[in-house]
């Protein structure tokens, strides 16, 4: 099982090293991040929940870890966290549908393998759906 406190510390250390090594660009990113999540019309908690959802859609494990910690620090409840993640999961599905039939077909063909995503038929070879999914999403 992953120790997320350890993973968070590692991500933060890696970011610190990366941003220090790229000079002004790193300072600029840190400043952009700080300015983006400060309370405004939307409060920090909402902005971090949005960041978390985007991290889930983008499948960035380090981002998920860091924005989860930021959500907790900003006072997000378990229920708010769950809703943000559920929206992310929905949007990830929408992204699959809008980014090409091959990706969506690969996902919907999983129904023929016993996964309850859809019963929609596709012309994609169902024997190879996993390979197509990986090739088109990574």
State the Cα angle at 75 between 11 and 68, rounded to 5°. 25
Buried b (16+ CB within 10 A) or exposed e, 76-98: beeebbeebbebbeeeeeeebee
pLDDT given for residue 2 in this prediction: 66
pLDDT given for residue 97 in this prediction: 64
One digit per residue, pLDDT tens: the chain, 138 residues?
568 889 899 999 999 999 999 999 999 999 999 999 999 999 999 999 999 999 998 888 899 999 999 999 999 999 999 999 999 988 887 766 666 555 444 444 443 443 333 333 333 334 443 443 344 433
What does pTM read for this prediction?
Answer: 0.67
Instruction: Name, in order, each residue with C-beta under 8 angstroms of 38's C-beta and a sequence gap of 6 or more.
Output: 44
Residue 10 CA to residue 109 CA, distance in Å, equals 38
């Amino acid at each position: 099982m992953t120790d997320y406190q350890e993973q968070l510390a590692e991500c933060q250390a890696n970011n610190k090293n990366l941003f220090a090594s790229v000079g002004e660009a790193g300072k600029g990113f840190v400043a952009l991040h700080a300015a983006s999540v400060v309370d405004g019309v939307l409060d920090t908690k909402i902005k971090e929940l949005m960041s978390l959802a985007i991290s889930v859609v983008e499948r960035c494990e380090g981002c998920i870890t860091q924005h989860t910690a930021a959500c907790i620090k900003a006072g997000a409840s378990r229920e708010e966290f769950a809703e943000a993640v559920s929206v992310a999961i929905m949007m990830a599905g929408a992204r699959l549908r809008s980014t090409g039939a091959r990706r969506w077909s690969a996902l919907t063909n999983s129904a023929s393998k016993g996964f309850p995503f859809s019963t929609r038929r596709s012309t994609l070879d169902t024997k190879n759906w996993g390979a197509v999914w990986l090739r088109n999403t990574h």
